[in-house]
Amino acid sequence: MLKGIPSILTPELLKVLMEMGHGDTLVIGDGNFPAASLARDSRLVRLDGHGVPEVLDAILRLFPLDPYVEAPVSLMEVVPGDPVETPIWDEYARIVEAHEPGTKIGHIERFQFYEAAKKAYAIVATGEGALYANIILQKGVVK
């Protein structure tokens, strides 16, 4: 155990976060996200039993977002015509704002999101039950 590190961050995830460099991306996927198949060429960290908001909050305590891109946080867009509501996005916005005030959150079309996930440094698989709860973070620098 270490002081000041959220207990939800496993040794494996901490190692991944430390290995990442400026511009690398991290995906946090919901329970329906095809994390294992998309992480074939990267790293997969499993945090089953946890929701995305608690994982996002813990990660952003340590993880700087990239201030040199328009939107260092991206969400998977709802497929047109899908009658799904996404109240979890408001929770994400509150978490991001608490850690990195003024950060813009972008949206990526579903299949483009999958392609971006394939190129991510790592994918964190959660047990989040909300739909369209997937998020990509782009790492910045510690100043």
Active-site residues, by number, are 22, 66, 114
Please count the other Cβ atoms lying within 10 Å of the Cβ belonging to residue 87: 7
